[in-house]
Structure 1
Amino acid sequence: MKKVTRFFWFCSGAHIDTLKKYPIEHNKYVGIGATIFFTALFAALSGGYAMYFVFAGNEFATVFAILFGLLWGTAIFNMDRYIVSSINKEGSTNQQILQASPRILLAIMIGVVISRPLELKIFDKEIRQRLKTAYLKGQHTKIDSLQKTYQQKYAQELGKNNDLKKEKDSLERDINRSRYELNQEVFGDKTNQTSGISGYGTYAKQKAQVLQEKEDRLKTVTENLGQMDDYLSRRKDYEGVNSTRLFSDKQLDSLSNVAGFADRNWALGQLSYNVDGTRDLDTYLAISFIGYLFILFECLPVFVKLMSPKGPYDTAIAKIAEANIHFAEKDKDRDIAVTDSTYDHNLDADVERRKRIITAQSDYDYGRHSFD
C-alpha cells in the first residue's frame, strides 16, 4: 500500500518529501492522483480503440492501437498532472477560479475527445444495426438511381421493345383464334365466320393463308424482340444495372465489421433519431450523459483541487516556493556583482595594456626619428 500511495502521490504532482510531513493531506492527494491515473487509463483505452478502427484490416492494427493508446494516455496523464499541480491555493477563491478556467476548458475538450471512442464501443451493437440499415438503404437508392438513369438513356429502345411485346401478344392471340376458325372451316362447323362446308376448300385455304401470314409476322417480331432484349441486356450490364444487387445479411455483417471511424461516429449520432426523423429522447439522453460523465471525470481533479480547503501542505509549498525565489534573487545579485567586479578588473587590465602599447609605439617612433 505504501508503494501504491507513493505512486498516486506522484500522479497528483505533489512534492512527496513535503507531503510526507503532513499526514492529514495524504488521502486527499491519493484521491487526486488516482483520479488523474484512471483518467489517463480511460484516455489510453479510448485512443487505442479509435486507432484500431483507423487501421482496421491491417495486420499491425493491434500494434498501432497499443502504441498510440500508450502515447495518448501518457500525454493526457502528463497534461492532467500539470493542470492540477499548477493551481495555486494561496490566492482568493475568485483568483483560483480564474486561474483554473483555461485548465477547465482544456479538461472539457479532453473529456469530449476521450469519451467519443468509448461511446462507440458502448453502443457497438446498436451502431452495427444502424449501419446495416444505412447500407441497405444506400444500396436501394443506388439501384433506383441506376434504373432511372438507364430508363432515361434508353427510353427510345425501351419504347420500341414494349411495342414489339404488345405486337407479339396480339399476334399470338390472333393466331390462336385463326387456327381455331380454320379447324372449324375444315370440319364444317357453321358459324358467322365459316361456310359450314367440311373439307379443305377455298375458304379453308384463305384462312390457312391468313394464318401463315400471321405466323410469319410473329416469327419476325419474335426475332426482333429477341435482338432488342439482347441489346438492352448488354446495355444493362454496361450501365451496372444487372450487376448491382441488394446486400445479403452476410455482406451487411461484413460491411458493418469493417466500417471506419467516420461511419461509426455518424451512426452514433443517428442513434438519437428514429427512422421517421423524430428524436429518440431515451437514446439521446443515454449518449449525452455518458459523454457528460467522462467530461466530469476529466474535470474532477481540477474541481477537487479547487473545492479542497487550503491545507498545511499548500502553505508549506508556498513558503518553499517563496524561499526558492528569494534564494534565486540573491544568487542573481551575487552573480551580477561578481560579473561587474570581473568586468572592472578586465577593464583596468585592458587600460594598462593599451598604455604599454602606446608607450612602446612612442619609443619606437622616437628611436626611428633619431636614427634618421
Structure 2
Amino acid sequence: MNNTKQFFWWCAGVHKDTLNKFPEEHNKYISIGATIFFTGLFAALAGGYALYFVFSGGDFAIFYSIIFGIIWGLAIFNLDRYIVLSIDKTKGTFKQVLQALPRILLAILIGLVISRPLELKIFDKEIREHLRIEYLKQQQANIDTLNSTFQNKYATEFSQLNALKVQADSLESSIKTDREKLNHEIFGTKTNETSGVMGYGPYAKMKEVNLTKQEIFLDTLRSRINTKENLLVQRKGKEGIMDEKILTDHKLDSAINVAGFADRNAALSNLHENPDGTTEKSTQYAVIFITLLFVFFECLPVFVKLMSHKDTYDIAISNQNIIHNFESASNVDIEKNALNKLIPHRTDVAIQRRMDKLSQEYESKKESY
C-alpha cells in the first residue's frame, strides 16, 4: 500500500517531503494521481487499438500497436500531469478557471481523439454488418458501371443483336400461327383461311413447304444470335468484366477483417442510418453519450483539481515558491550594477521596488510557514 501511495503521489506530481507533513491531505492526492494514471491508461488502450487497424493483417501489427499505445499513453499521462500541476490553488476561483480553460479545451480535444477507437471496438458487430452491406453495394455498383461502359463501347453490336432477337421472336410467332393453320387444314377445321376438307391436299403441302423455309431461316437467325453473343462474351472476358462477381461470404469476411480505420470510422458515423433511409436515434445517442463519457473522463483530472479546496499543502507550496523567488532575487544588485553600466543616467526604481516587495512577502510568508 505504501508503494501504491508513493506511485499515485508521483502521478499527481506532489512534493513528497512537504505532503508528508499534512497526513489529512494524503488521500486527496492519491485520488488525483489515480485519476491521472487511469486517464493515461485509457489513452494507451485507445491509441494502441487505433494503430492496430493501420497495420491490421501484418506480421508485426500487435507489436507496433503495443509500442504506439505505450508512447501515446505516456504522452497523455505527462500532459495531464502538467495540466494539474500548473493550476495554482492560491489564486481566486475566476483566475483558476481562466488558467484552466485552455487546458480544458485541450482535454476535450484529446477526449474526442481517444474515444473514437474504443467506440469502434464497442460497436464492432454493428460496424461489421454495416460494412458487409456497403461492400456488397459497392461491388454491385462497380459491376453495373463496367457493364454500362461495355454496352456504350459496343453499342453497334448490341443494337444488331437486339434487332436479330426481335426478328427471331417475330418469325417464331409467325411460324406458330402458320403451324396452327396447317393443322386446321389437315384436320378439316373450317376457318376463313382453310377449306374445311380433311386431308393432306395441295394447300396443306404449300403451307408446309413455307413453314419449312421459315424454320430454316429461324435456325439461321438463332445461329447468328449465338455467334454475336459469343463474340460479346469473349470481349467481356478479355476486358476482365467476367471476373467481376458478387462477393461471397468468405470474401466479404476477409475484406471486413482487413478494413482500415477510415472505413470503420465512416461506418460508425453512418451506423444510425437504416437502409430504408430512416434514422435510428438510439444508436446515434449511444455513440454521442459514449463520446461525452470519454471527454468527461479526460477532463476529470482538471475538474478534480478545480473542485478541490485550497488546502494546507497548497499554501505550503506557495510559501516555498515565495521563499525561493526571494532567494533567487539576491542577485538583483548584480543586475542593477549591470544596468547602470549600460544606462548610466537611469535610476533603477523598478528594481528597488521589486526588492522591497519581495522582502515584505518573504518576511510575512516565512513567519506563516
Q: If the TM-score is normalised by the length of the shorter chain, which range does it land in?
A: 0.7 to 0.9
> Which residue does 2:316 correspond to in 1?
316
> Aligned ranges for residues 1-372 of structure 1 at < 5 Å?
1-175=1-175, 192-193=193-194, 196=197, 203=203, 206-238=206-238, 240-331=240-331, 333=333
Normalising by structure 1, we get a TM-score of 0.82
Q: TM-score, normalised by structure 2?
A: 0.82
Note the C-alpha offset of 1:258. Answer: 1.3
Unpaired stretches in structure 1, ≥5 consecutive residues = 341-372
- Measured against aligned partners, the alpha-carbon deviations of 1:1-27 in whole angstroms (never above 9, x if no partner) come to 000000000001111111111111111
Deviations 1:179-209 (A, max 9, x none): 6766787x7857644695856x755654454
Cα pair 2:184 2:194 within 8 Å, conserved: no
- 1:190 and 1:50 map into 2 onto residues whose CA distance is 84
Shift of 1:306: 1.0
C-alpha deviations, 1:14-67, integer Å up to 9, x for none?
Answer: 111111111111111100100000000000000000000011111100000000
Structure 1 residues 74 and 212: alpha-carbon distance in aligned structure 2, compared to 1, 3 A threshold? same
CA distance in 2 between counterparts of 1:163 and 1:105 reads 70
Distance in structure 2 (CA, Å) of the matches to 1:319 and 1:61: 51
In the alignment, the residues of structure 2 paired with residue 279 and residue 226 of structure 1 have an alpha-carbon distance, to the nearest angstrom, of 49
Q: RMSD of aligned C-alpha atoms?
A: 2.9
Report the CA distance shift for 1:184/1:298 in structure 2 as closer, same or farther (over 3 A): closer
Larger Rg: 1
In 1, distance between residues paired with 2:130 and 2:231?
40
The match for 1:347 is none
Deviation string for 1:328-367 (max 9, x for gaps)?
22256569989x9xxxxxxxxxxxxxxxxxxxxxxxxxxx
For 1:196 and 1:88, locate their aligned partners in 2 and report how far apart those are by CA, in whole Å.
121
Conserved? CA contact 1:195–1:203, under 8 Å:
no
In structure 1, distance between residues paired with 2:198 and 2:86: 120
Assess if the C-alpha contact under 8 Å between 1:40 and 1:73 holds in 2. yes
Aligned residues: percent identity? Answer: 51
- Paired residue secondary structure (1:69): helix
Which has the larger displacement, 102-111 or 270-279?
A: 270-279
Give ranges in structure 2 of 5+ residues lacking alignment.
341-369
Residue by residue over 1:130-189, the C-alpha shift from the partner in whole angstroms, topping out at 9 and shown as x without a partner, is 11121122223223333333344434322322222232233344445656766787x785
Tell me, what secondary structure is at the counterpart of 2:243? coil
* CA gap 1:310/1:179 in 2 versus in 1, 3 angstroms: closer
1:181–1:194: 8 Å Cα contact kept in structure 2?
A: no
Q: 1:197 to 1:126 in 2, by over 3 A?
A: closer
CA-CA distance at 1:107 after TM superposition: 0.9
Partner amino acid for 1:234? Q
Number of equivalences: 339
Letter in 1 for 2:141: T
